[in-house]
Chains A and B, each alone.
Chain A
């Protein structure tokens, strides 16, 4: 403790001092003004008043921090934009999940505490959708990993025309869901579809893929995995090209077998990336919506309805706004757990490389 530490009693006068860099005061003022504006003025005007107050507070903080907190200033625009566009709407939705509210009813929201969560978590339909989602996630991610892995090995070496062929494989990722949905529906369709036409060459009978639950699942998994395996391929490929050459040269001198080279040199370099691919694709697969909606609409019955499709029905078709935000938060919780796993693996890999 040095002697020039500000005594506790001096805190208040300093706080009230009217100076441009007195950001705590600016923030307090901004909050007060904003609340007053929201309470007293019509929304169209209060928004701008509140925004101006926030800008003033931010300006004061920037003025105060100038030259001292470079990092904070550099990060601030990004944080601000993310706050406005992501965090704020999220908090809004989080709030709604504690109310009973439907967007297309004139009734005002009623506070219900954790009732929505209790209802959703005890709803067998939600659990059924979560199970369907889990099955689809496991299947599609497994296929993507295997296919992506094999494709990456195919492209790991330099060879003539590699650049052009690689683009062909990457293209599915760049397609629009509208086109993918329409065309895969057509590929699977028994009368016109290419799949059925192909099978008919051998059996003479039209092939009806989407007739059964298993077939519908296979159709969804095939289309989704086809579209996103290139993503896994890129990850694994990035790992493969980062293996230092001298390791292989050393292995060649030792006459190590292919399998030995793979397990002792290649795999350690791509293991972390494979885990990343796995987690990243799992997180994305949890949001699986477009392909399912466009190919089967959840059918036959509800056997391929994922939780995202269920969420869409609740939020948009039924306008059960607070129920849908509750489901979203349960989903988000799952995703956060997964993201934590993801970070754990990233960090572990970082530690491994350093050591």
Chain B
């Protein structure tokens, strides 16, 4: 320990000297890619795979200098590093919403030239599902300007408990009450719509002391949960899904500059959608009334066995099947998130999650070359399979269509059908202002302080103003 501390001191001293003396010129064959990433399993697995397997095709010794930053502060840290101009990172993992804000500032490098110059990379991107590619790479959204590559693609799925849903007693009672079969298998669960989901909520809401699946409950139990929190984007992501499913829209940046917020954001369809979203929250655990029901809380409620079903990002699934962190590990099953039944078909539009990699504009030619090689390595089928085998997801068609893919994890069967229904929210630089105001208004609605119409009217008016001023809405 003592030696260790001394070594640390010496390294620190050396770092200071290096810092004061200006950058030491790197040897031609040593390249460091320093990367800012959020601290969680998908990035830890990546670092692990890199350290074990990576050999740069160029023959250079490539060092991946990863700064694992805790998720809660990740944006603050990355934003401050970028805006201060310290040019500390050559690459970063970025949320897709952040693209515009950091591209307009000149931080994220456009990669069209890199793609054009590299047939392999081009082929890889062509093999990618268009929904995640557009969400993670394009700015303006759905344009031909590319900026990123998927690191961890993500969608939300339905986590549910088979011990509750497949229980004979519950099956019988459900049939008696609704004259419909309570879904049990993942295939049956795939087919449900929000009305059915609401019935789960009503049916499984039980008080302490009542029976659930043949056992006496030692605490209140709830049927359903989805995100309805105040922080970051922890209600917008689910509300957007409802709005799209109802045929409404959020302010659509692909329609700029003629698309408006007023009349679109608060269209009758959108109001109906928000009303539907709010109606379901009455069947959820009481924390929903505080704006505290973020993606972490719903996950915790599910893992602690307080709810029968939860709509949640796949990124949390690993901890729910791990008996060390989950009380329902042996009974959890996964299905596609519910949708809205329109003319007998289920419409499942949803907001995509996940994060892309980006390369910074100040990366030098050697670093860019190594970064592209690194990305190609990461997106190669072999590595993507290894990543998926440890619980990650892949946006590459040939990988996720491989029959092996669905065997890695129980939720992977929802992946391919789910991807077809993904859209993304705004990529414009003003995204955070839109997001914060939206979350504030939704929070008022969720905590029961205003109705859906007022909420969306307020949001539309704010967005119309802000976007007109920013030049995204003209005429």
Q: Which residues of A contact B (CB under 8 A)?
A: 44, 103-106, 185, 188-192, 206, 208-211, 216, 296-302, 313, 316-319, 321
Complex Cα distance, B433 from A105, in Å, reads 15
Known contacts A103-B105, A208-B286; 11 further A-B pairs (Cβ under 8 A): A104-B104, A185-B292, A189-B297, A208-B290, A296-B291, A298-B230, A300-B444, A316-B76, A316-B79, A318-B436, A319-B101
Contact present for B436 and A190 (CB under 8 Å): no
Contacts A/B (CB < 8 Å), 17 sampled: A104-B82, A188-B290, A191-B219, A206-B220, A206-B286, A216-B290, A296-B230, A296-B291, A299-B440, A300-B449, A301-B440, A301-B449, A313-B436, A317-B436, A318-B432, A319-B83, A319-B101
Contact present for B105 and A106 (CB under 8 Å): yes
Contact present for A190 and B105 (CB under 8 Å): no
Taking CB as reference atom, which chain A residue is nearest B450?
A301
Contact present for B290 and A210 (CB under 8 Å): yes
Contact present for A191 and B286 (CB under 8 Å): yes
B residues near A300, Cβ cutoff 8 Å: 230, 290-291, 443-444, 447, 449
B residues near A313, Cβ cutoff 8 Å: 436
- Chain B positions 61-88 with a Cβ under 8 Å from a chain A Cβ: 75-76, 79-80, 82-84
- Chain B positions 425-446 with a Cβ under 8 Å from a chain A Cβ: 429, 432-433, 436, 440-441, 443-444
Q: Say how far B78's CB is from chain A's closest CB, in angstroms.
A: 10
Complex Cα distance, B308 from A196, in Å, reads 22
Taking CB as reference atom, which chain A residue is nearest B430?
A318
Complex Cα distance, B297 from A188, in Å, reads 13
A residues near B436, Cβ cutoff 8 Å: 313, 317-318
Contact present for A103 and B83 (CB under 8 Å): yes
Contact present for A105 and B443 (CB under 8 Å): no
Taking CB as reference atom, which chain A residue is nearest B230?
A299
Residue among A103, A211, A318 with most chain B CB within 10 A: A211
What is the number of contacts between chain A and chain B, taking CB atoms within 8 Å?
96
Complex Cα distance, B83 from A192, in Å, reads 40
A residues near B301, Cβ cutoff 8 Å: 191
Taking CB as reference atom, which chain A residue is nearest B76?
A316
B residues near A211, Cβ cutoff 8 Å: 289-290, 447
* B269-303 contact mask (Cβ, 8 Å, vs A): 1 or 0: 00000000000000001110111100001001100
- Tell me if B346 is interfacial: C-beta within 8 Å of chain A: no
Taking CB as reference atom, which chain B residue is nearest A193?
B287
Complex Cα distance, B429 from A96, in Å, reads 21
Taking CB as reference atom, which chain A residue is nearest B289?
A211
A residues near B107, Cβ cutoff 8 Å: 104
Q: Say how far A158's CB is from chain B's closest CB, in angstroms.
A: 41
Taking CB as reference atom, which chain B residue is nearest A320?
B433
A residues near B84, Cβ cutoff 8 Å: 103
Contact present for B79 and A319 (CB under 8 Å): yes
Contact present for B79 and A104 (CB under 8 Å): yes
A residues near B289, Cβ cutoff 8 Å: 190, 208, 211
Contact present for A297 and B286 (CB under 8 Å): no
- Tell me if B22 is interfacial: C-beta within 8 Å of chain A: yes
B residues near A210, Cβ cutoff 8 Å: 290-292
Contact present for B443 and A104 (CB under 8 Å): no
Complex Cα distance, B441 from A302, in Å, reads 9
Q: Say how far A40's CB is from chain B's closest CB, in angstroms.
A: 19
A residues near B104, Cβ cutoff 8 Å: 104-106
Contact present for B105 and A105 (CB under 8 Å): yes
B residues near A298, Cβ cutoff 8 Å: 230, 440
Q: Which 5 A-B pairs have the closest CB atoms?
A: A103-B83, A210-B290, A104-B105, A190-B286, A299-B291
Complex Cα distance, B286 from A192, in Å, reads 11
B residues near A188, Cβ cutoff 8 Å: 290
B residues near A301, Cβ cutoff 8 Å: 440-441, 443-444, 447, 449
- Chain B positions 177-231 with a Cβ under 8 Å from a chain A Cβ: 219-220, 230-231
B residues near A191, Cβ cutoff 8 Å: 219-220, 285-287, 301, 306
Taking CB as reference atom, which chain A residue is nearest B234?
A297
- Chain B positions 444-475 with a Cβ under 8 Å from a chain A Cβ: 444, 447, 449
Neighbour of A104 across the interface among B101, B219, B433, CB < 8 A? B101
- Chain B positions 85-106 with a Cβ under 8 Å from a chain A Cβ: 101-102, 104-106
Residue among A104, A105, A318, A321 with most chain B CB within 10 A: A104
B residues near A190, Cβ cutoff 8 Å: 285-287, 289-290
Q: Say how far B471's CB is from chain A's closest CB, in angstroms.
A: 13
Q: Say how far A178's CB is from chain B's closest CB, in angstroms.
A: 8
- Tell me if B304 is interfacial: C-beta within 8 Å of chain A: yes
